[in-house]
């Protein structure tokens, strides 16, 4: 099959996260047709997670290409760039406060970013309730998308933006994510100024991190007077089940956590004992470094599907920059195959370099001396 011109190609994005939606938005700005498929039944099917920071040298570049940078700044929280480092006693050991007008990496809630991107797309761009099972068809196209509901779609280009356990990735790579040895338990705190004032005082307007070498706590202020806390431990991936518990066994898990954080101060342990609702179990996985694949003119990857890394905040920024680069390549290439090759020539070395810098970085989240990776901290 001769690779088609992008203007006449059927382009399918799998995954309606920030990367997939950014790619779709920029493609549409260039007049290219695209369809996004997502397994969720709708945009409000599940909580989108906590806050993230978009950097001026990657995430904000993508938003500028999408024509959404000004709208982003209207939603973003520059005060969220504040970063505190604490010891297990709750003593402040380091404090970074953004200067007036500083906008290098302001925070925005993931749900707000997704809504911004969704609202910018043509009606009907996203096909909800379309969970991908596998990619079939010939290597040089057309490809056949097999969905879990039994339906199929023929397409000229499959863009895997479907995250850590991508269903697109096996079409180009046998790699699977491996457990890093570090796991999070996420805890939520609502109406914090009134109901959790001590935690609000500890965290401030941005993020706060503390660790003792075996366990850590990372807390982030979200919008709407909400804080998310990540209890970080070096444990087996199945440690909850191995303890005879389930993630919904809140009181029993809390008792285990209090044993493990026994030497931490009562102030700090409030982030373990006072959460609103159950914990959320988040074992942390990463792809091999470097993760590359042979060029395929009909399939490519972006974001975590391409380069899942430890949770040090670069994921969404890289995913959106990937999306911008890929959409720009498609808008300017003679064929889809040429665009994919040009995109991967830029993306794969960049992701490999970043992945090498962050390899093993999950360990730093429980280390007493947390390095500065130029980011505000953990992501999902």
pLDDT score at 60 = 97
Asked if residue 194 belongs to a domain, the reply is yes
Tally the domains of the chain. 2
237 and 280 in a single domain? The answer is: yes
Q: For residues 21 and 126, state if they share a domain.
A: yes
Average pLDDT over residues 20-24: 98
In a domain, 261, yes or no: yes
309 and 330 share one domain = yes
Distance CA 84, CA 330 (A): 42
Q: Are 303 and 232 members of one domain?
A: no
Q: What is the pLDDT of residue 379?
A: 38
pLDDT in tens, 194-205: 999 999 999 999
pLDDT class for 377, splitting at 50, 70, 90?
Answer: very low
> 55-97, pLDDT tens digit by residue?
999 999 999 999 999 999 999 999 999 999 999 999 999 999 9
Model confidence over 337-367: pLDDT tens digits?
999 999 999 999 999 999 998 888 777 788 7
Would the pLDDT of 372 be above 50?
no
Res 140: pLDDT: 86
Tell me the whole-structure pTM to 2 decimals.
0.94
Where is the domain boundary, 233, 255, 285? 285
Residue 92 covered by a domain:
no
Q: Is residue 90 part of a domain?
A: no
Residue 310: what pLDDT? 86
Instruction: Find the domain containing 303 and state its range.
Output: 6-81+102-176+287-360
95 belongs to a structural domain: no
| pLDDT attached to residue 376 | 36
Q: What value does the mean pLDDT take over residues 325-347? A: 98
Would you place residue 45 in the very low, low, confident or very high pLDDT band (cuts 50, 70, 90)? confident
> Same domain for 303 and 250?
no
At which of 241, 258, 285 does a domain end?
A: 285
- The domain boundary, picked from 235, 255, 285, lies at 285
Are 272 and 292 in a shared domain? no
Q: What is the pLDDT of residues 263-315, one digit of tens each?
A: 999 999 999 999 999 999 999 999 999 999 999 999 999 999 999 998 777 88
**What is the predicted pLDDT for the residue at 369?**
52
Question: pLDDT averaged over the chain?
Answer: 93
Pick the range with the lowest mean pLDDT from 170-184, 220-234, 311-325, 360-374.
360-374
Q: Is the pLDDT of residue 48 over 80?
A: no
Distance CA 23, CA 276 (A): 36
Q: Look up the CATH number of the domain holding residue 42.
A: 3.50.50.60
Same-domain status, 336 and 205:
no
* Angle of the 315-332 helix axis to the 18-29 helix axis, nearest 10: 30
The whole-angstrom separation of Cα 375 and Cα 56 is 12
Bridge partners, residue 5, by sequence: none
Q: Indicate which CATH number applies to the domain containing 193.
A: 3.30.9.30
Residue 294 and residue 275 share a domain: no
pLDDT per position as a tens digit, 140-177:
899 999 999 999 999 999 999 999 999 999 999 999 99
Residue 324 lies in a domain: yes
Q: Per residue in 198-210, is it b (16+ CB within 10 Å) or e — as a string?
A: ebbebbbbbbbbb
Q: Is residue 315 part of a domain?
A: yes
Kindly state whether residues 207 and 72 are assigned to the same domain: no
Q: Are residues 117 and 24 located together in one domain of the fold?
A: yes
Query: Looking at the structure, do residues 39 and 162 belong to the same domain, yes or no?
Result: yes
When pLDDT is averaged across residues 109-125 and rounded to a whole number, the result is 97
Residue 379 lies in a domain: no
Residues 210 and 264 in one domain: yes
- pLDDT higher than threshold 50 for residue 103: yes
């Amino acid at each position: 099959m001769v690779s088609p011109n992008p203007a006449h190609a059927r382009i399918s994005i799998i995954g309606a996260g920030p990367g997939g939606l950014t790619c779709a938005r920029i493609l549409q700005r260039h007049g290219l047709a695209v369809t996004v498929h997502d397994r969720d039944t709708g945009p409000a099917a599940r909580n989108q997670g906590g806050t993230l920071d978009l950097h001026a040298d990657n995430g904000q570049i993508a938003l500028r290409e999408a024509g959404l940078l000004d709208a982003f700044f209207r939603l973003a929280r520059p005060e969220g760039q504040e970063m505190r480092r604490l010891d297990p006693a709750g003593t402040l050991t380091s404090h970074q406060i953004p200067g007036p007008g500083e906008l290098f990496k302001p925070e925005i809630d993931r749900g707000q970013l997704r809504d911004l991107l969704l609202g910018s797309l043509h009606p009907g761009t996203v096909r909800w309730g379309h969970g991908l099972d596998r990619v079939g068809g010939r290597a040089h196209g057309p490809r056949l998308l097999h969905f879990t509901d039994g339906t199929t779609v023929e397409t000229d280009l499959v863009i895997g933006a479907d995250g850590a356990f991508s269903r697109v990735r096996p079409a180009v790579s046998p790699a699977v994510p491996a457990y890093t040895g570090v796991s999070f338990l996420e805890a939520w705190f609502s109406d914090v100024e009134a109901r959790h004032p001590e935690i609000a005082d500890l965290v401030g307007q941005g993020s706060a991190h503390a660790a003792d070498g075996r366990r850590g706590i990372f807390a982030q202020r979200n919008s709407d007077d909400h804080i998310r806390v990540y209890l970080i431990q070096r444990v087996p991936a199945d440690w909850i089940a191995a303890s005879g518990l389930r993630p919904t066994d809140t009181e029993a898990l809390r008792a285990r956590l209090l044993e493990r954080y026994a030497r931490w101060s009562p102030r700090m342990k409030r982030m373990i004992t006072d959460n609103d609702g159950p914990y959320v179990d988040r074992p942390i996985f990463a792809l091999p470094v470097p993760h590359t694949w042979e060029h395929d003119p009909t399939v490519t990857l972006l974001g975590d599907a391409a380069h899942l890394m430890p949770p040090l905040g670069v994921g969404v920024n890289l995913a959106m920059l990937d999306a911008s680069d890929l959409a720009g390549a498609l808008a300017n290439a003679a064929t889809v195959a040429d665009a994919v090759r040009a995109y991967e020539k830029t993306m794969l070395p960049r992701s490999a370099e970043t992945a090498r810098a962050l390899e093993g970085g999950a360990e730093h989240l429980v280390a007493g001396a947390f390095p500065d990776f130029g980011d505000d901290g953990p992501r999902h």
